[in-house]
Structure 1
Amino acid sequence: MNDPAGFQGALVGYDFTLAGARLTALGSGALWWAERRLLCVSDLHMGKSERHLRRGGAPLPPYETRDTLARLAALIRQLQPETLLCLGDSFDDLAAAQALPPEDVQDLRSLIAAQDWIWVEGNHDPGPAGFGGRSCTEMRLGPLTFRHIAEGDAEAGEISGHYHPKARLRRGSARPAFLLDRTRLILPAFGTYTGGLRSSDPALAGLMASEAIAILTGPKPLPCPMPR
């Protein structure tokens, strides 16, 4: 189960600048852009337990969407964003989106109605799912470009998700982590049942510049040289 610091680390953050934008990596695994009052989360993967069972997997406790929404609602109450941007793979697939329990649907729609809600399409959830908000393949806001999957030749200011990065210190356990260099930021997964890819994996090591850092989530976000 992925619980990036739960509520405890929700508002504790690590401040940095990307393409001139002042941003904060929160201990919860979300990204806060205070100047725009924009909250960004990636890879919620709502409905994962339903899809897992539908595809022949062992039953999982079907509470991951409720937990993910509860943590997201807590962040929204605390930060009062004007814009909420979901950075792709918000649902485990479109069938899982349609199979959400009614109480989860009601809670999700209440959150969407409270602010400008943007769905960036992911590889698991292409196209709108019918819950409201607006959908796009990528979003350009000021100096930043938000997309689901990082592009190797991206201009400075790219923010993406998809890989669910994790990192660890020598004597610690692996934690969900932001990966940051001069060009891009990759967010950790926010969803409760999401796994993770070590920052040393070639897919991530090949994307991130040599000076990249990992910002480990938790009660106090911890920046360190990106483990390779």
Structure 2
Amino acid sequence: MNAIEIPFQGETLCALASGALLWRARDLLIVSDLHLGKSERIARRRGTMLPPYETRATLERLEADLAATGANGVLCLGDSFDDLDAATGLEPQDRAHLVSLIEGRAWHWVEGNHDPGPAGLPGVHHAELVMGPLTFRHIAEPGAQGELSGHYHPKLGLPGCGEARACLLFDATRMILPAYGAYTGGMPATAPELRALIGSPGFAVLTGSKPLLVPYPARAGAGRGRRRF
């Protein structure tokens, strides 16, 4: 399993190539911004048709991470669905696939700005969640300690590395996870909103076939990508 171990607030978290985090001490896989049902939501609201495969691709990625890690718990850091109607509008086979992943696991849904209420699926819904020294919420709060969040979909490009890649950003006090779902855009990691949240020294872990740890902020070439929430 490709992973980078990160000491954080007295715990060890493993950053996976997919953008997920593994907290071995709690047997917990942490993901953010799955945005399940995005193509259905776009078709419903805009009349624009996209290939309806992003939910399947995201669930297959999640299933692979669960198989590789053996995690018995999952924590979704908000915007798990593109909106609450998307949660009820999943294709029957996608809903069945998701329920099969939830069954037998401790599953936590943290609310996001796209899905502010329970989605009518198994698992426990939280506005935010505290476990030991760590606080899990969707949107980072200034001054927080031991915080893990999502929302911003950070992406980072480096010279010679091709397209910008989704990335985890972190410093000694907080982590901001990348979007885990397919069809999700991103915010350049060098954007002022993210620079204001990540202190020095800061680091980024780029996703891909193999996770890549780099200092943050990076030099020229960073941040190609568009912000889409």
TM-score tier, shorter chain, comes to: over 0.9
Relative to structure 2, which stretch is displaced further, 184-193 or 71-80? 71-80
What is the DSSP-based 3-state SS (H/G/I as helix, E as strand, rest coil) of the residue aligned with 2:193? Answer: helix
Map residues 174-193 of structure 1 onto 2, 5 A cutoff.
174-193=164-183
Give yes or no for contact 1:167–1:226 (8 Å, CA) kept in 2: no
Map residues 63-82 of structure 1 onto 2, 5 A cutoff.
63-82=53-72
Match of 1:141 in 2: 131
Match of 1:162 in 2: 151
Cα distance in structure 2, aligned partners of 1:161 and 1:57: 28
Q: Which runs of 5+ in 2 are unaligned?
A: 219-229
Q: Letter of the aligned partner of 1:159 in structure 2?
A: L
Map residues 57-206 of structure 1 onto 2, 5 A cutoff.
57-155=47-145, 157-172=146-161, 173-206=163-196
Match of 1:218 in 2: 208
Structure number with higher relative contact order (C-alpha < 8 Å, ≥ 6 residues apart): 1
Q: What is the TM-score normalised by the length of structure 2? A: 0.92
Q: Which runs of 5+ in 1 are unaligned?
A: 1-10
Relative to structure 2, which stretch is displaced further, 86-95 or 57-66? 57-66
CA RMSD of aligned residues (A): 1.1
**Superposition deviation, residue 219 in structure 1:** 2.0
**Superposition deviation, residue 60 in structure 1:** 0.5
Q: Letter of the aligned partner of 2:20 in structure 1?
A: A
Residues paired across the two proteins, number = 217
Cα distance in structure 2, aligned partners of 1:123 and 1:88: 7
Aligned-pair identity in percent equals 55
Match of 1:8 in 2: none
Q: Letter of the aligned partner of 2:151 in structure 1?
A: H
Match of 1:6 in 2: none
Q: 2:11 aligned with 1:21, yes or no?
A: yes
